[in-house]
Structure 1
Amino acid sequence: MELRHLRYFVAVAAEGSLTQAAERLHLTQPSLSRQIRQLEGDIGAALFERNAGGTSLTPAGVALHQHALLLLRLADAAPDMARSATSHAREVVHIGIPPGLPEGWLLDVLAALETEVPHASITLIEASSSEQLRMIREGHLDLGMVREQPAGKLRAKLLLEVPFGVAARPGHPLAGATSCRMQDLDNLRILAHGRQQVPVVDDRLVMAAHAAGVVPLWQFTQFSEHALACAQAAKADAVLLVEHTAHRLLPGWTWLPLTEPELPLLTWLAWPTETRAVVRAVADAVPAHD
């Protein structure tokens, strides 16, 4: 058994499809199939059930999967751990972060980790929530700060709850208000993050608007640093986002808290149930939402 076989196995398990896994691994499907068959031969059991909808893990595959993730994570960390041995033997911990976290809060978290877990060397990787959860499942991330409550075999705790609001275009009548209700958005063009960035917000927006009997003209898209350009392209009257991001990315636009209904942006910390002691220590040291 070779590490590459385990990487191929984990990729197929994550994708649920030999074809999609082969594309991501830049292999042909026949080549990937041969590698999986070699691994199954080494293990002495079938790891996947093939069907019209793709692949699913057999009981033997489920048993191997958790061990494979841990082995790959240790293998990936080995070079960093070897290099860190000359620097007080600090263990590298990879943490995923989504765009738009309050920078002051994140710096406070890093300062707390430096004090409380001094043997951890923190590396931050910016990625969307869905990308982070995939990377955790595949063993490429130790922890992730995600915008959806993790499901499955992941541990989680709530870190942040920040209210959403709308930033109104300069000169728009909405900019003269002090707060905003869903009724105030009727027939306005509202730019909002799509599902890939904030998975639950667009569903909750549509449901809240339906409950209020109003029809905002939602413009769902992905944006982070270029909110102003995206708003201009969409000819948006207002942009839905949190206050600290609005002040940073949309200078001159008036941010109003959304009060009816209140719509919080939640950030969760997620990590595997089976992981290194240093990862558990980091997870415990990151302050939870009160």
Structure 2
Amino acid sequence: MSYTLDQLRCLVAVAEELHFGRAAARLRMTQPPLSRQIQKLEAAVGAHLLDRDNRSVSLTPAGAAFLAEARRVLALIDAAPGLARRVSSGTRGVVRLGFTAGSTFAVLGELLNRVGRDLPEVYVDLFEMVTREQVAALDADELDLGLARPPFDPTTYESRPLVREALLLAVPERHPLTALRRPAQPADLAGEALILHSQHRAKYFYDLVVSMVPVAQESVTHSVSQIVTMLWLVAAGRGIAFVPASAVRLGVPGVAYVRLATPVPEPVELHLLWTRHNPNPALRQVLRALDAFEVSHDT
């Protein structure tokens, strides 16, 4: 035998009023049907829940224990429609976010704070990936949103610029380039040892740099994929590197930064990226929360 939600509500009313007449009035029913509901509940539970006589009503130990669970069940049932509406509208849910290592010091913390402020019931699950891994995960519906470097196929993905920043030269402290009173030109780099981005693991930055600066392969002392690695190599005197302006935030000691003359003042871009077919309502709410969110790291 099972019990009903109405029977649970009857028990809660009697337990709170400790009077069958008042409980019946609260439930807008007469006392005999209320008594029958309690009897059916006790039969279903297999335990005596209430002690009553002509003058008083009290909970048995079993009734007190059952009352706590009854309230919990009723609270869940009462909250379920609102929960369903919030999930359907996207104000509650989970968004799986892919991000590049560089975005952690460029924008990730600020983005999470904005989403947390505007959508406190949306949980953002984080996955560190390079752009090509994010694209594959988006295609496989393993991610909802990416923080990735362009370009993207516009027939499959929607994207929005999130960060635009300058490209700087990271050089050892007291390097001659720090004495320049203007942005460095490609000609100023002649004879310098270069720490370059990996052509395969950091293709976006590699392509960006070589499109603006003639790079002789014999000048490249190291090719690495992570910006923080580049900065420590610069600090060790292994060469100079091309880094986004947000790299200054890392505060690596022994490194100075020089503005690089580029055709576009802020050529480094980071985009929000998502697939056009993604059905997650929480994604739409996150995108709306970030609608006017754009960061510049100009120096």
Q: Match for 1:238 among 229, 240, 243?
A: 240
SS at match of 2:123: strand
For residues 221 and 209 of structure 1, the distance between their equivalents in structure 2, rounded to whole angstroms, comes to 18
For structure 1, list consecutive stretches of 5 or more residues without a partner in the other structure. 1-84
Q: In structure 2, what is the equivalent of residue 156 of structure 1?
A: 159
Deviation at 1:155, TM superposition (A): 1.0
Q: In structure 1, what is the equivalent of residue 274 of structure 2?
A: 271
Deviation at 1:256, TM superposition (A): 0.8
Q: In structure 2, what is the equivalent of residue 138 of structure 1?
A: 140
> Superposed, which structure 2 residues align to 1:37-52 within 5 Å?
none
Tell me whether 1:204 sits opposite 2:204 in the alignment. Answer: no
For residues 95 and 254 of structure 2, the distance between their equivalents in structure 1, rounded to whole angstroms, comes to 39
* Contact 1:91-1:120 within 8 A present in 2 as well: yes
Q: In structure 2, what is the equivalent of residue 172 of structure 1?
A: 175
* Contact 2:101-2:226 within 8 A present in 1 as well: no
The 3 A distance-change label for structure 1 pair 195 and 119 is farther
For residues 106 and 126 of structure 2, the distance between their equivalents in structure 1, rounded to whole angstroms, comes to 15
Q: In structure 2, what is the equivalent of residue 128 of structure 1?
A: 130
Deviation at 1:221, TM superposition (A): 2.0
The 3 A distance-change label for structure 1 pair 244 and 270 is closer
Match of 1:170, as an amino acid? E
* Contact 1:226-1:249 within 8 A present in 2 as well: no
Q: C-alpha deviations, 1:255-278, integer Å up to 9, x for none?
A: 011124446210011111112111
Q: In structure 1, what is the equivalent of residue 187 of structure 2?
A: 183
Q: In structure 2, what is the equivalent of residue 80 of structure 1?
A: none
With normalisation by structure 1, the TM-score equals: 0.60
The 3 A distance-change label for structure 1 pair 168 and 229 is closer
Match of 2:129, as an amino acid? A
Deviation at 1:229, TM superposition (A): 4.3
The 3 A distance-change label for structure 1 pair 203 and 137 is same
Q: Match for 1:283 among 283, 287, 294?
A: 287
**RMSD, aligned CA:** 2.9
Q: In structure 1, what is the equivalent of residue 117 of structure 2?
A: 115
- Determine which structure has more spread, i.e. the larger CA radius of gyration: 2
For residues 171 and 104 of structure 1, the distance between their equivalents in structure 2, rounded to whole angstroms, comes to 26
For structure 2, list consecutive stretches of 5 or more residues without a partner in the other structure. 1-82
Match of 1:168, as an amino acid? V
Identity rate, percent: 20
Deviation at 1:168, TM superposition (A): 1.1
The 3 A distance-change label for structure 1 pair 134 and 249 is farther
Q: In structure 1, what is the equivalent of residue 250 of structure 2?
A: 248
